[in-house]
A = this chain, B = another copy of it.
Amino acid sequence: MAKKLKRIGVMTSGGDSPGMNAAIRAVVRTCAYYHTECAGFYRGFQGMIDGDCINMNARSVRNIVNQGGTILQSARSKQFLTKEGRAQAAQNLKEQEVDAMILIGGDGTFRGGQVFSQEHGIPVIGVPGTIDNDIYGTHYTIGYDTALNTVVEAIDKIRDTASSHNRLFFVEVMGRDAGFIALNSGIGAGAEEILIPEEDLGLDRLLDSLERSRRAGKTSSIVVVSEGDKIGKNVFELAEYVKENLPFYDARVSVLGHIQRGGRPSCFDRVLASRLSVKAVELLLDGKKDLMVGMLNNEIESCSLDQALKGKHTINKDLLRISEILST
């Protein structure tokens, strides 16, 4: 084991995701287990710059494993994008005797952490926490599984209404650059069509498919649309376009929005957050740095932050085929 770390800091950054609290809890308890101090920084990088932190022990994280959001709060920090901001943060860590940081967040968080570590020699480990699942080096990010359940539960409710009124619903889900949520929740909710940023299926194909659906006797339908779908229209324009071209459809729109970020984490996310965070602390205690922990093939692994940032986690395109078969 390398030079003994006295004190490990932890923060959450970027969009919050369910399971971040379970991750914080696991960091804090693992530190306690290994008799290492732990400091929690509020509002991500901004708290590091402002020196806004508290000592955390096993009791600080009682009864949070099942809470959505993050007790350490999150924020985006423009100041941390500057050299001065980062220097200020490094200065604070030194004053607080924090030897290393665990960063729970997504791409932007890891990018900031990497620069920070390089400039100031403070080891960081990234823990992937985002509902978008768009991080290379892990099959699952913390919060993604919960978001999928939130989305399918919402679509189940919408389908009650769609079936009762013979309506076509366009449901917009999160995922500006990645179709993970749309693709999996679409299959889970039995959507008739799924539109994702990775594939432009074309408007014609959508119309064809809906018309075929109608002829097959389906009177209600759900189309799941990723925020960032490639089709070049937002979800309201899409609905209008379909109404004009397929007037027999009573098309409606539902934008699920921020409910997708909150809520009690699923068991999967709680266990994932716990396992990743125990590993993150152990890596630091083991003298490792600038890594991201991830779950690959059900095992907890790690890769360099550099790999995580350069790689691209791509969707499984076979799921599009599955979706097509199932909406027969």
Contacts and interface: CB of A to CB of B under 8 A. Distances in A.
Interface string A12-35: 100010101000011001101100
A255 interface: yes
A258 B168 CA distance: 12
A271 B161 contact: no
Contact of A325 (B33, B59, B262): B33
Interface stretch (A90-98, A111-119, A152-160, A237-245): A152-160
A274 B263 CA distance: 23
Given A278-B322, A278-B326, A297-B297, A69 B267 contact: no
Contact of A158 (B145, B165, B259): B259
A16 B271 contact: no
Contacts of A190: 25, 63, 65-66, 270
Interface stretch (A2-10, A120-128, A181-189, A203-211): A181-189
Contacts of A256: 259
A289 interface: no
Interface residues of A, number: 81
A160 B67 contact: yes
A73 B263 contact: no
Interface in A260-287: 261-264, 266-268, 270-271, 274-275, 278
A247 interface: no
A16 B154 contact: no
Given A66-B159, A169-B258, A188-B268, 8 more contacts: A16-B165, A20-B164, A74-B165, A149-B268, A158-B259, A160-B262, A189-B270, A190-B270
